[in-house]
Amino acid sequence: MQRRALAVLGICLIFAVLPITAHSGEVLFQYATIDALLAGVYDGQLTNGELKKQGNLGLGTFNTLDGEMVVLDGKVYQVKVSGQVHLAPDNGKTPFAAVTTFSPKKSVTLKKAGNLKELTQLIDESLPTKNIFYALKIEGRFARMKTRSVPRQNRPYPPLVKAVEKQAVFEFKNVEGTMLGFRCPVFVKGVNVPGYHLHFLSKDRKAGGHVLDCTVENLTVQIDPIHKFNLVLPSDPDFYRLDLDRDKSVELIKVEK
C-alpha cells in the first residue's frame, strides 16, 4: 500500500553537491523515466498544461509517441513525423518529459564545432563538474542541423528501439533557431539520458525535432547548472507491471543516435 501511494503521489529525488540552502534556485522536473519509454510505455497522465507549470524550457514526447516535444519560452511545441510543428494543447498528455525554469549562470562562445560530438566535448571542457545537471540553450544560425521525429504508435506498443526504425529525418542548412536540452550525470542511467539530450526548434517555428547532428560557428551556449531533481512517477498499470531490471543502455544509444 505504501509503495502504491508513493507512485501515485510521485517521488521527489534531490541530488546536491552542497547544502540545499546554497542552491535554492532551479529544479529539473521530470515525469516518468527513460527506461520506461524505451520499454514502450507511451501513455502518461501528466498534461502539457501541468508540465508548463514546472518550467519554461525542456523536452520530451507525447502520448502514443506522437512526435518530439520542445518546450521554449513556456510554450510546448509538437514536431510531428511529417515535419510540421504545432503548439501542443494544454489537455494533451506526455509519457516522458523534463523541464526547468531556465536562468543561465554561464555562457560559452563556440567558434566552431563540426558535429554534435565536437560540440558536446567543447561544452564539457567548460563545466566545473559532470556530477550535476545542466540546462542548455543555444540560439542563432546553425550551418547544419539534422533532426528527427517519430511516428505515432498503436497498441500493442513496440519498444522504442523498434519505433524509431520508422523515424523521419530532417536536414537543414543555415537555419536560424534554438537548440536546447540537458546534460545529465551518469548516475541517472535508467532514469534520464546520461550526457546530452538536445532538441531543436527553428526561429519561424516551422521545423525542429530531436537533434541527431549539427555544425555550429560563432554561437554562444547559455548554461544553467541545476542541483535539484524532482522525479514524478506514473501511476498507471502499464508502468506498474513493467520489468525494469534489465540494463537498456545499448538500446538508448541506438535510439538517441
Cell triple for 249: 543502455
CATH number of residue 62's parent domain:
3.30.1330.80
pLDDT tens for each residue of 73-118: 999 999 999 999 999 999 999 999 999 999 999 999 999 999 999 9
Put simply, whether the predicted model's pTM sits higher than 0.75 gets the answer yes
How far apart, in whole angstroms, are the C-alpha atoms of residue 70 and residue 201? Answer: 7
Residue 12 has pLDDT above 90, yes or no: no
141, β-bridge pairs:
176
Do residues 229 and 27 make contact, with C-beta atoms less than 8 angstroms apart? yes
pLDDT of residue 167: 97
pLDDT of residue 257: 79
Kind plus residue range of the DSSP H or E element containing 118:
helix 116-126
Q: Which residue has the higher pLDDT, 163 or 17?
A: 163
Residue 10 has pLDDT above 60, yes or no: no
How far apart, in whole angstroms, are the C-alpha atoms of residue 61 and residue 6? Answer: 24
Do residues 147 and 170 make contact, with C-beta atoms less than 8 angstroms apart? yes
CB atoms within 10 A of CB 152: 14
CB atoms within 10 A of CB 8: 11
How far apart, in whole angstroms, are the C-alpha atoms of residue 232 and residue 8? Answer: 9
Domain count, the chain: 1
What would the mean pLDDT of 214-228 be, rounded to a whole number?
97
Residue 6 has pLDDT above 50, yes or no: no
65: pLDDT confidence band, cut at 50, 70 and 90?
Answer: very high
CA-nearest of 60, 50, 56, 30 to 229 is: 30
Kind plus residue range of the DSSP H or E element containing 241:
helix 237-241
Q: Which residue has the higher pLDDT, 1 or 43?
A: 43
How far apart, in whole angstroms, are the C-alpha atoms of residue 216 and residue 241? Answer: 43
**Which residues form the domain of 89?**
2-256
